[in-house]
Protein backbone atom coordinates (compact mmCIF):
# COMPACT_ATOMS: atom_id res chain seq x y z
CA UNK A 1 0.00 0.00 0.00
CA UNK A 2 2.98 2.33 0.59
CA UNK A 3 5.05 1.01 -2.29
CA UNK A 4 7.06 3.79 -3.88
CA UNK A 5 6.90 5.95 -0.74
CA UNK A 6 10.06 6.93 1.07
CA UNK A 7 9.84 7.36 4.85
CA UNK A 8 12.33 8.95 7.21
CA UNK A 9 11.63 8.04 10.83
CA UNK A 10 13.71 9.73 13.49
CA UNK A 11 14.63 7.78 16.61
CA UNK A 12 13.85 4.51 14.84
CA UNK A 13 16.69 2.35 16.14
CA UNK A 14 14.59 1.51 19.20
CA UNK A 15 11.13 1.39 20.72
CA UNK A 16 8.20 3.13 19.03
CA UNK A 17 10.20 4.45 16.07
CA UNK A 18 11.46 0.97 15.23
CA UNK A 19 7.92 -0.40 15.44
CA UNK A 20 6.72 2.33 13.05
CA UNK A 21 9.61 1.55 10.69
CA UNK A 22 8.63 -2.14 10.72
CA UNK A 23 4.97 -1.30 10.09
CA UNK A 24 5.73 1.03 7.16
CA UNK A 25 8.21 -1.46 5.70
CA UNK A 26 5.54 -4.18 5.89
CA UNK A 27 3.33 -1.92 3.73
CA UNK A 28 6.08 -1.59 1.12
CA UNK A 29 7.62 1.78 2.06
CA UNK A 30 11.33 2.40 1.67
CA UNK A 31 12.54 3.22 5.16
CA UNK A 32 15.37 5.49 6.30
CA UNK A 33 16.26 4.95 9.94
CA UNK A 34 17.77 7.47 12.34
CA UNK A 35 18.97 7.09 15.89
CA UNK A 36 21.79 5.87 18.06
CA UNK A 37 22.74 2.40 19.15
CA UNK A 38 25.04 -0.53 18.74
CA UNK A 39 26.43 -0.57 15.17
CA UNK A 40 25.88 -4.32 14.72
CA UNK A 41 22.30 -4.11 15.98
CA UNK A 42 21.57 -1.19 13.65
CA UNK A 43 23.13 -3.07 10.73
CA UNK A 44 20.88 -6.05 11.53
CA UNK A 45 17.78 -3.81 11.55
CA UNK A 46 18.85 -2.30 8.22
CA UNK A 47 19.19 -5.82 6.77
CA UNK A 48 15.81 -6.84 8.16
CA UNK A 49 14.04 -3.82 6.67
CA UNK A 50 16.18 -3.23 3.58
CA UNK A 51 16.65 0.21 5.15
CA UNK A 52 19.45 2.74 5.27
CA UNK A 53 20.55 4.48 8.46
CA UNK A 54 21.39 8.08 9.24
CA UNK A 55 23.17 8.56 12.55
CA UNK A 56 22.59 12.32 12.76
CA UNK A 57 22.47 13.77 16.28
CA UNK A 58 19.22 15.74 16.12
CA UNK A 59 20.48 18.17 18.74
CA UNK A 60 22.86 19.48 16.07
CA UNK A 61 21.14 21.62 13.41
CA UNK A 62 24.08 21.17 11.03
CA UNK A 63 23.78 17.39 11.34
CA UNK A 64 20.03 17.57 10.63
CA UNK A 65 20.66 19.69 7.55
CA UNK A 66 23.33 17.27 6.31
CA UNK A 67 21.00 14.29 6.92
CA UNK A 68 18.08 15.89 5.07
CA UNK A 69 20.34 16.81 2.15
CA UNK A 70 21.75 13.30 1.95
CA UNK A 71 18.37 11.57 2.23
CA UNK A 72 16.74 13.89 -0.32
CA UNK A 73 12.97 14.24 -0.75
CA UNK A 74 10.82 12.03 1.46
CA UNK A 75 7.10 11.25 1.18
CA UNK A 76 6.67 10.44 4.86
CA UNK A 77 8.48 12.13 7.74
CA UNK A 78 7.95 10.81 11.24
CA UNK A 79 9.48 12.94 13.96
CA UNK A 80 9.69 10.45 16.75
CA UNK A 81 13.05 10.80 18.53
CA UNK A 82 12.50 11.92 22.07
CA UNK A 83 13.96 11.95 25.53
CA UNK A 84 12.79 12.40 29.09
CA UNK A 85 14.18 13.60 32.40
CA UNK A 86 12.33 13.43 35.69
CA UNK A 87 13.10 16.06 38.32
CA UNK A 88 11.35 18.75 40.41
CA UNK A 89 11.32 22.01 38.47
CA UNK A 90 13.54 23.83 40.97
CA UNK A 91 16.26 21.20 40.52
CA UNK A 92 15.71 20.58 36.82
CA UNK A 93 19.16 20.61 35.17
CA UNK A 94 19.19 23.42 32.62
CA UNK A 95 21.16 21.35 30.12
CA UNK A 96 18.49 18.64 30.32
CA UNK A 97 15.79 21.26 29.70
CA UNK A 98 17.61 22.47 26.58
CA UNK A 99 18.21 18.94 25.30
CA UNK A 100 14.60 17.83 25.79
CA UNK A 101 13.15 20.90 24.09
CA UNK A 102 15.87 20.56 21.43
CA UNK A 103 15.17 16.92 20.60
CA UNK A 104 11.42 16.62 21.23
CA UNK A 105 10.42 19.94 19.63
CA UNK A 106 13.11 21.94 17.83
CA UNK A 107 14.50 18.99 15.84
CA UNK A 108 11.01 18.39 14.41
CA UNK A 109 10.89 22.01 13.26
CA UNK A 110 14.17 21.57 11.40
CA UNK A 111 13.34 18.25 9.71
CA UNK A 112 9.87 19.52 8.80
CA UNK A 113 11.05 22.80 7.30
CA UNK A 114 13.54 20.85 5.19
CA UNK A 115 11.04 18.18 4.07
CA UNK A 116 8.05 20.33 3.17
CA UNK A 117 9.30 21.69 -0.14
CA UNK A 118 9.77 18.19 -1.61
CA UNK A 119 6.32 17.09 -0.38
CA UNK A 120 4.65 20.18 -1.82
CA UNK A 121 6.39 19.59 -5.14
CA UNK A 122 4.91 16.07 -5.26
CA UNK A 123 1.50 17.20 -4.05
CA UNK A 124 1.56 14.45 -1.42
CA UNK A 125 3.14 14.05 1.97
CA UNK A 126 2.63 12.76 5.47
CA UNK A 127 4.11 14.47 8.51
CA UNK A 128 3.62 12.51 11.71
CA UNK A 129 4.94 13.68 15.05
CA UNK A 130 5.11 11.42 18.06
CA UNK A 131 3.72 13.52 20.90
CA UNK A 132 2.40 11.90 24.07
CA UNK A 133 -0.51 11.80 26.48
CA UNK A 134 1.66 14.48 28.08
CA UNK A 135 0.68 16.73 25.15
CA UNK A 136 -2.82 16.85 26.60
CA UNK A 137 -2.24 16.51 30.31
CA UNK A 138 0.68 16.86 32.72
CA UNK A 139 2.42 14.83 35.38
CA UNK A 140 4.68 16.34 38.02
CA UNK A 141 8.48 16.33 37.63
CA UNK A 142 8.34 16.28 33.81
CA UNK A 143 8.30 20.00 33.10
CA UNK A 144 10.52 19.97 30.01
CA UNK A 145 8.89 16.87 28.53
CA UNK A 146 5.36 18.18 29.07
CA UNK A 147 6.30 21.56 27.61
CA UNK A 148 7.91 19.94 24.56
CA UNK A 149 4.96 17.64 23.94
CA UNK A 150 2.35 20.39 24.33
CA UNK A 151 4.56 22.43 21.98
CA UNK A 152 4.79 19.80 19.24
CA UNK A 153 0.99 19.72 19.02
CA UNK A 154 0.84 23.47 18.44
CA UNK A 155 3.59 23.18 15.85
CA UNK A 156 1.78 20.31 14.09
CA UNK A 157 -1.53 22.17 13.96
CA UNK A 158 0.20 25.20 12.46
CA UNK A 159 1.94 23.16 9.77
CA UNK A 160 -1.33 21.32 9.01
CA UNK A 161 -3.09 24.63 8.39
CA UNK A 162 -0.26 26.00 6.28
CA UNK A 163 -0.23 22.85 4.09
CA UNK A 164 -3.98 22.15 4.08
CA UNK A 165 -4.38 22.58 0.32
CA UNK A 166 -1.16 20.90 -0.76
CA UNK A 167 -1.90 17.18 -0.30
CA UNK A 168 0.38 17.11 2.73
CA UNK A 169 -1.11 16.22 6.10
CA UNK A 170 0.40 16.77 9.55
CA UNK A 171 -0.75 14.91 12.63
CA UNK A 172 0.40 13.87 16.07
CA UNK A 173 0.21 10.45 17.64
CA UNK A 174 -0.07 10.64 21.42
CA UNK A 175 0.68 7.38 23.17
CA UNK A 176 0.13 6.68 26.82
CA UNK A 177 2.69 4.45 28.48
CA UNK A 178 4.36 2.13 25.99
CA UNK A 179 6.83 -0.44 27.20
CA UNK A 180 10.08 0.79 25.60
CA UNK A 181 13.61 1.60 26.82
CA UNK A 182 12.50 5.23 27.41
CA UNK A 183 9.94 4.11 29.99
CA UNK A 184 12.26 1.57 31.57
CA UNK A 185 14.95 4.24 31.85
CA UNK A 186 12.81 6.70 33.80
CA UNK A 187 11.78 4.21 36.47
CA UNK A 188 14.89 4.71 38.69
CA UNK A 189 14.50 8.54 38.61
CA UNK A 190 10.80 8.28 39.42
CA UNK A 191 11.61 5.88 42.28
CA UNK A 192 14.00 8.50 43.65
CA UNK A 193 11.79 11.55 43.01
CA UNK A 194 8.73 9.92 44.62
CA UNK A 195 10.43 7.59 47.11
CA UNK A 196 8.75 4.49 45.65
CA UNK A 197 9.79 0.92 44.81
CA UNK A 198 10.09 -0.25 41.19
CA UNK A 199 6.82 -2.18 41.46
CA UNK A 200 5.02 0.83 42.95
CA UNK A 201 6.25 3.07 40.10
CA UNK A 202 4.99 0.58 37.49
CA UNK A 203 1.60 -0.09 39.09
CA UNK A 204 0.80 3.08 41.02
CA UNK A 205 2.44 5.77 38.83
CA UNK A 206 2.63 4.46 35.26
CA UNK A 207 -0.35 2.14 34.87
CA UNK A 208 -2.33 4.12 37.45
CA UNK A 209 -2.99 6.56 34.62
CA UNK A 210 -4.16 3.97 32.10
CA UNK A 211 -7.71 2.72 32.67
CA UNK A 212 -7.02 -0.37 30.51
CA UNK A 213 -4.17 -1.27 32.94
CA UNK A 214 -2.07 -2.34 29.98
CA UNK A 215 1.00 -0.81 28.40
CA UNK A 216 0.40 0.28 24.80
CA UNK A 217 2.24 -1.99 22.38
CA UNK A 218 4.70 -0.35 19.94
CA UNK A 219 3.10 -2.34 17.10
CA UNK A 220 -0.26 -0.65 17.81
CA UNK A 221 1.39 2.70 17.22
CA UNK A 222 2.92 1.35 14.01
CA UNK A 223 -0.56 0.42 12.80
CA UNK A 224 -1.87 3.93 13.53
CA UNK A 225 1.05 5.48 11.64
CA UNK A 226 0.25 3.26 8.64
CA UNK A 227 -3.36 4.43 8.74
CA UNK A 228 -2.29 8.09 8.74
CA UNK A 229 -0.19 7.37 5.63
CA UNK A 230 -3.10 5.84 3.70
CA UNK A 231 -4.93 7.70 0.95
CA UNK A 232 -8.11 7.36 3.06
CA UNK A 233 -6.47 9.56 5.71
CA UNK A 234 -6.04 12.47 3.29
CA UNK A 235 -8.58 14.54 5.20
CA UNK A 236 -7.07 13.75 8.58
CA UNK A 237 -4.84 16.69 9.35
CA UNK A 238 -4.06 18.86 12.34
CA UNK A 239 -5.23 16.08 14.65
CA UNK A 240 -3.72 14.68 17.81
CA UNK A 241 -4.46 10.96 17.97
CA UNK A 242 -4.55 9.49 21.45
CA UNK A 243 -3.56 5.86 21.87
CA UNK A 244 -3.39 5.81 25.64
CA UNK A 245 -5.70 3.14 27.04
CA UNK A 246 -8.25 5.82 27.96
CA UNK A 247 -5.84 7.92 30.07
CA UNK A 248 -6.85 11.31 28.67
CA UNK A 249 -10.56 10.42 28.63
CA UNK A 250 -10.64 10.92 32.41
Give the Cβ contact number of residue 207 at 10 Å.
18
CB of 235 to ligand NAD, least distance (A): 25
Nearer to ligand NAD by Cβ, of 17 and 151: the residue is 17
Neighbours of 245 (CB within 10 A): 20
The CA-atom distances, in angstroms, between 82 and each of 102, 105, 137, 221, 243 are 9, 9, 18, 15, 17
Cα distance between residue 198 and residue 146, in whole Å: 23
Instruction: Using the minimum distance from each CB to ligand NAD, give the nearer residue, 34 or 190.
Output: 34
Nearer to ligand NAD, 77 or 166 (CB): 77
Q: Which is nearer to ligand NAD, 164 or 223 (CB)?
A: 223
Contact partners, residue 121, CB within 8 Å, separation at least 6: 73
Catalytic-residue membership of 145: yes
We find the least distance from the C-beta atom of residue 12 to ligand NAD, in angstroms, to be 6
d(CA 153, CA 161): 12
- Nearest residue (CB) to ligand NAD, 124 versus 179: 179
Contacts of residue 239, defined as CB under 8 A and 6 or more positions apart, other chains included, come to 160, 171, 172
The nearest distance, CB 58 to ligand NAD, in angstroms, is: 4
Q: In whole angstroms, how close is the CB of 144 to ligand NAD at the nearest point?
A: 11
Cβ 176 to ligand NAD, closest distance in Å?
A: 6
Sign of CA dihedral 147, 152, 157, 161: positive
Active-site residue, selected from the candidate residues 11, 81, 112, 145: 145
Contacting residues toward ligand NAD, per CB under 6 A: 11-17, 34-37, 57-59, 80-83, 103-104, 130, 132, 175, 177-178, 180-183
Alpha helices in the chain (DSSP H): 15-26, 39-49, 61-71, 94-101, 107-122, 143-162, 181-194, 198-200, 218-229
Catalytic annotation, residues: 145
Amino acid sequence: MLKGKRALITGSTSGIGLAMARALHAEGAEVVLNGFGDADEIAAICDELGASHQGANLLDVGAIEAMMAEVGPVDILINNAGMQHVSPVEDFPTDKWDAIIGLNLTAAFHTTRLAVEGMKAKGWGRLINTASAHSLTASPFKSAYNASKHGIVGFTKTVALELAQTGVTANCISPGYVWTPLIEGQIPDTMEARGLSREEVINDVLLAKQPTKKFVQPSEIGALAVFLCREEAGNVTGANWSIDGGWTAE
